[in-house]
Amino acid sequence: MFAKRLFLSLVLSLPWTCQAGLQSTFVASDLRDPMEISIAPNGDLYVVEREGRVLRVIPGTGAVMEIGSIPVTALRKENKDSSWAREDGLLGIALDPQFTSNQRLYLYYSAPDQMINRLSRFTLKNGILDLKAEKILLEIPTDRRDRVCHQAGSLAFSKDGLLYLSTGDNTNPFESGGVAPIDDREGHDHANAMRSAGNTNDLRGKVLRIKPTEKGYEIPKGNLFPPGTPKTRPEIYVMGCRNPFRLSIDPKTQTIYWGEVGPDAGNPSPKGPAGHDEVNQAKSAGNHGWPFLVADNKPYPLVDFSSKAIGTMTDPAAPRNPSKFNTGLEVLPPARAALIWYPYGASTEFPLMGSGGRNAMAGPVFYHIAKRPWNLLGIEDDHTLITYDWMRNKAWKVKLDDQENFVRMEVLLEGLQHPMDMEMAPDGSIYLLEYGSGWYFNNNGRIRHLTPDQGHKPLQIAIKAGAGNAYEADVKDLKQQPCEIVWYLTKGTTDRKVGTGAKLECPDTNADQLRAVATDAHGNRGIARVLLQSGGQTELELELKGQPKDLAFGEKVSFKIKGAAPDKDLVLRARYIPPTGHDAGGPALPDDVVKLITAKQCLACHQVETPSVGPAYLNVALRYRDQQNAFAHLQQKLKNGGAGVWGEIPMPPQAAVNEAESQHIIRAILGLAEGMNEVRGQREGILTLPPAPANAAPGGAWELTAQAPQCSFAKRRINAR
């Protein structure tokens, strides 16, 4: 018997605001960590998800169909605390300029069989991705160990048929104190972006530009290094990138824009400036400075990580790469400043950027074209770049002059849910891809269709499940807003109309999803869906009294959890996330502790957040953190073993762990509870937020999670003050 699982795709279903009078309709939902979107000439959307799925979306009916799955290396839920392949997966998609006739598309992904990221061309055969027809264009050696991250992976075609690919610096940023990761010591190359982004002979930390051909690709004129230049790669168009998200190309000038996810330092120090995110612009090939400069060419000194000595300050006019791991040129091209740059705190230069966590994105560029159906912005906004931020959940419009210089900016959208990609459709509307509420393992990613507000009330529709296979569409204010309701059923890659009117008896419960599409006399749509194959999970909902926009340390929060889970199983957990956002995937132990407990086989019975044979380390931390003798008690437990507290299975004495090691492990475990609190076994009540942890800083956030066994999480993210 199938389990009914209801998902509502409602216009304006979450609080959001816009300055430009835009209307938002969700045309797809239930996406799993979606990464990038590409629009076909016929209006269909193609989406890639981090763990390998390739989807086709039909905006008019809300159909979401899996057309293929690429085997990839990626972080998986069953091993979510792994330090391996933190940002790998299926990363980017672009449709061929002649997609209508040749059905070709390009994917960038982390290969499962080799330590490489791969750019390949695929072909759709009868609407399905033909894996056997893969044509490999480019393979980039990559590192996946020791929490190395920054893979970028955005793809975009220019109107002249050139393909652009952004690649990250593939570096561990956590061992450098938030400044430039230029650790030149042996064994620390994974924390050294001089080997990648600052290397003219390496394809990481770049924007690459090639011209695909039938047999592979050619190097177009105008790249940074002409073919044959010693110690360089001719594919490089832009070098000096840290983690370049999302590529967008001006359709008239061919100028490229991208967001640059910047380093973590909250304040300047002798080792370099405060971290900044960037919105970058490249009218031609060039060097954008990382890891030697950031923002408006704020320089970093060369630091000796062995002696801690601070050396020569970088000259933006002639930056040097002295690393022993550099296989390219030592003297680099002059560095270019960013178009927009902003730190965690308030920006002096760009105050409308606000403050908080940072994850810059960029594009598209809007031009006002009178003859097309939609113009998202007014004629006064002709030649305007739209930028957005994944962490701040906002979008801005940036007016450019005739020379493509910054003129002014305004807030365009607020209240988004981790905006991941934004593409302009040929009709002048915009599709906005939202990643979901978490950092990994989302199943609530979605696609918004943004159009100008025509002054008509948006449709809000939901589906109610009845007895057996009966369903009913519920449209808000139906009497005041008459509409047509059409039902669609998707199975595999087939989507068909199965009924009209408010009620339906579902004809095939083995299908993937059922949808009700409401359309009013003005052409406005509302889409609601039911996933028919849900695995029987119950959906939880989390309500907070007063719908707070921000919360303070120590504040009492009134909550209510909805969902068919026993009260005794419910857990509401609050966790403070510092403005760097790097622990946003969940609590984590330090790398050296992970290596130690791995060597001592502790992970055979314990995980950080998930109960296994033994309790989760986080649950241990929360239980014992307020006990004065917690440290000594746990040290004795580790030494002598014990049973009865967490279940019937005893923990044997850990003879292989010496006293110094046990102290190190226990301190780290107890440290997991810092900035956290929880309430168990209550459907509604009061949760008191914890006091400020040591890493508290302006721009942090709270993550509130309601959970229970066999239920999907309900998460809320709220700014900290």
Query: Could you report the per-residue pLDDT of 16-53, keeping only the tens digit for each?
Result: 455 558 989 999 999 999 999 999 999 999 999 999 99
Annotate 12-43 with b (16+ C-beta within 10 A) or e (fewer).
ebeebebebebbbbbbbbbbbbbbbbbbbeee
Over residues 123-135, the mean pLDDT reads: 97
* Of the candidates 385, 393, 400, 402, the residue with the CA atom closest to the CA atom of residue 420: 393
Q: What are phi and psi of 79, to 5 degrees?
A: -140, 45
Cβ pair 553, 578 in contact under 8 A: no
Cβ pair 14, 415 in contact under 8 A: yes
pLDDT of residue 3: 31
Assess whether pLDDT exceeds 50 at residue 337. Answer: yes
Q: Which of 435, 452, 469 corresponds to the end of one domain?
A: 452
Q: CA-to-CA distance for 153 and 131, rounded, in angstroms?
A: 20
Over residues 623-635, the mean pLDDT reads: 83
Tell me, yes or no, whether 467 and 413 share the same domain.
Answer: no
Tell me, yes or no, whether 527 and 557 share the same domain.
Answer: no
Tell me, yes or no, whether 279 and 360 share the same domain.
Answer: yes
Q: What are phi and psi of 618, to 5 degrees?
A: -65, -40
As a three-state string, the secondary structure of 342-389 is: ECCCCCCCCHHHCCCCCCEEEEEEECCCCCCCCCCCCHHHCCEEEEEE
Please count the structural domains in the chain. 3
| For residue 181, cis peptide bond before it (omega within 30 degrees of 0) | no
Q: Which of 411, 433, 452 corresponds to the end of one domain?
A: 452
Assess whether pLDDT exceeds 60 at residue 391. Answer: yes
Domain-located, residue 410: yes
Q: CATH number, domain at 596?
A: 1.10.760.10
Domain-located, residue 8: no
Tell me, yes or no, whether 340 and 467 share the same domain.
Answer: no
Over residues 667-674, the mean pLDDT reads: 85
Tell me, yes or no, whether 548 and 489 share the same domain.
Answer: no
Q: For the CA atoms of 279, 285, 288, 291, what is the dihedral angle to 10 degrees? A: 130
pLDDT of residue 48: 98
Listed in sequence order, the residues at least 6 apart from 289 whose beta carbon sits closer than 8 Å to its beta carbon are: 240, 297, 316, 319, 335, 336
- Say what percent of the chain tops pLDDT 70: 92
Q: How far is CA 297 from the centre of its chain?
A: 27
- In which domain, by residue range, is 488 found? 461-531
Please report which helix (H) or strand (E) contains residue 23, including its range.
Answer: strand 22-31
537-585: pLDDT as tens digits: 567 888 999 889 889 999 999 999 988 778 888 999 998 988 875 555 5
Mean pLDDT of the chain: 89
- What interhelical angle do 659-671 and 591-599 show, nearest 10? 130
Tell me, yes or no, whether 524 and 546 share the same domain.
Answer: no
Q: Which of 424, 452, 480 corresponds to the end of one domain?
A: 452
Q: CA-to-CA distance for 225 and 355, rounded, in angstroms?
A: 38
Most confident listed range (431-435, 549-553, 682-686): 431-435
Domain-located, residue 14: no
Cβ pair 512, 532 in contact under 8 A: yes
Q: How far is CA 317 from the centre of its chain?
A: 34
Q: CATH number, domain at 490?
A: 2.60.40
> 20-24, 62-66, 134-138, 486-490 — which is least confidently predicted?
20-24
* Of the candidates 102, 181, 198, the residue with the CA atom closest to the CA atom of residue 146: 181
Domain-located, residue 9: no
- Mind giving me the DSSP string for 157-174? E-TTS-EEEEE---B--T
Tell me, yes or no, whether 465 and 331 share the same domain.
Answer: no
Q: CA-to-CA distance for 223 and 208, rounded, in angstroms?
A: 9
∠ CA 239-244-246, rounded to 5° = 130
Tell me, yes or no, whether 293 and 407 share the same domain.
Answer: yes
- More confident position, 321 or 691: 321
> 18-32, 162-176, 485-499 — which is least confidently predicted?
18-32
Q: CA-to-CA distance for 721 and 719, rounded, in angstroms?
A: 7
Tell me, yes or no, whether 134 and 237 share the same domain.
Answer: yes
Domain-located, residue 243: yes
Domain-located, residue 17: no
Q: CATH number, domain at 112?
A: 2.120.10.30
Q: How far is CA 278 from the centre of its chain?
A: 17
Q: CA-to-CA distance for 6 and 15, rounded, in angstroms?
A: 20
Rg value, the chain, Cα: 26
Tell me, yes or no, whether 522 and 547 share the same domain.
Answer: no
Both tokens assigned to 467: 């007895």
Q: Which residue, chain included where needed, has tokens 């003005």?
A: 522
* Of the candidates 413, 451, 479, 534, the residue with the CA atom closest to the CA atom of residue 7: 534
Assess whether pLDDT exceeds 80 at residue 167. Answer: yes
Both tokens assigned to 348: 């002096």
pLDDT of residue 651: 66
Assess whether pLDDT exceeds 80 at residue 6. Answer: no
Tell me, yes or no, whether 526 and 542 share the same domain.
Answer: no
Assess whether pLDDT exceeds 60 at residue 588. Answer: yes
Over residues 404-429, the mean pLDDT reads: 95
pLDDT of residue 11: 31
* Residue 204, burial from CB neighbour count under 10 angstroms (0-12, 13-18, 19+): buried
Tell me, yes or no, whether 208 and 261 share the same domain.
Answer: yes
Domain-located, residue 383: yes
Both tokens assigned to 534: 């849900």
Q: For the CA atoms of 609, 610, 615, 616, what is the dihedral angle to 10 degrees? A: -10
pTM score, whole prediction: 0.81
pLDDT band per the 50, 70, 90 thresholds, residue 14:
very low
pLDDT of residue 5: 30
Listed in sequence order, the residues at least 6 apart from 259 whose beta carbon sits closer than 8 Å to its beta carbon are: 244, 245, 246, 277, 278, 279, 280, 359, 360, 361, 362, 387, 388, 389
Assess whether pLDDT exceeds 70 at residue 611. Answer: no
Domain-located, residue 502: yes
